[in-house]
Amino acid sequence: MKVAITHSGKQYQADFSLPIDISIPLTGTPDNVNAWYVPHPTIQPVTDGDFVGSVAAGSSTNFNNILFNPHGHGTHTECVGHITKEFYNVNEVLTTYFFITQLVSVTPEPQGEDLVITRSQLETALEGTTPEAVVIRTYPNPQTKLRKQYAHSNPPYLLEAAALFLKEIGIKHLLIDLPSVDKEKDNGALLAHKAFWNYHGELRLDATITEFIYVPDTVADGPYLLNLQIASFVNDASPSKPVLYEIL
């Protein structure tokens, strides 16, 4: 289904019958992608005396409890409330859901014992474009990212200057295929989070960061229409389902 869209005074066309889901599904198994030293998610039937919420166990319905951490267990979208004493929740921050975005691919560069994404890499990848959102795919890009256990692995991250650049050019929504935009063990510095949300100035309350996405290699770099869907959690972060549509 081709749809004509007017956005910021410009006309676009997208085919809504061809979505590209870049979220990672959450499963109640040890193979679920994982970070931040938390146990894997659990999805289990409610039990109450003789009642077990499973059709296979004789119930009329499947009735499961789900225990998970949005930051540690898969694709999630977070707001500045992730790093502030004041309570801000992503359900109030994110109030529109379609954005023109640019998908870019970068290979993090060695810096000491780390692999980092630099300002110059993002400047080159974006080629002067200033979309509302940017989706960053990192290389190498194996499908094992869908189940990788990241704890104590020191994954790549954004340098502070790279996050500052995205803020400076007006990027409101940053999506990345890593468990965090910041270094795993940084003693709470959170330099990229703070730079992107302007933590030491006027907070960018309407900006979001989405982590733990996965973009297959078959999806080409370039402009897309992004549908950033979240669950209605009153929390600093929510599990989310970002979906790309090719602009025709």
Whole-number pLDDT of residue 228: 98
C-alpha 166/C-alpha 143 separation (Å) is: 27
Domain map (residue ranges) of the chain: 2-27+70-246
Cβ burial, residue 198 (10 Å; 0-12/13-18/19+): middle
The pLDDT value given to residue 9: 77
Fold of 2-27+70-246: Glucose Oxidase; domain 1 (3.50.30)
Q: What is the pLDDT of residue 10?
A: 80
- In degrees, to the nearest 5, what angle opens at C-alpha 119 toward C-alphas 219 and 195? 105
* Dist CA 145 CA 70 (whole Å): 17
Per residue of the chain (248 residues), what is the pLDDT tens digit?
Answer: 787 777 677 888 899 999 999 999 999 999 999 999 999 999 999 999 999 999 999 999 999 999 999 999 999 999 999 999 999 999 999 999 999 999 999 999 999 999 999 999 999 999 999 999 999 999 999 999 999 999 999 999 999 999 999 999 999 999 999 999 999 999 999 999 999 999 999 999 999 999 999 999 999 999 999 999 999 999 999 999 999 999 99
Cα 108 to Cα 66, 95, 214: the distances in Å are 35, 32, 16
**Model pLDDT, residue 111:** 98
Which alpha helices (DSSP H) does 67-152 contain, by range? 90-93, 119-126
CB-based contacts of 124: which residues, under 8 Å, 6+ apart?
A: none
CA distance 164 to 205: 16
Q: Which of 240, 69, 220, 214 is nearest to 145 (CA)?
A: 214
Distances (CA, A) of 168 to 107, 171, 196, 223, 232: 22, 8, 9, 20, 29
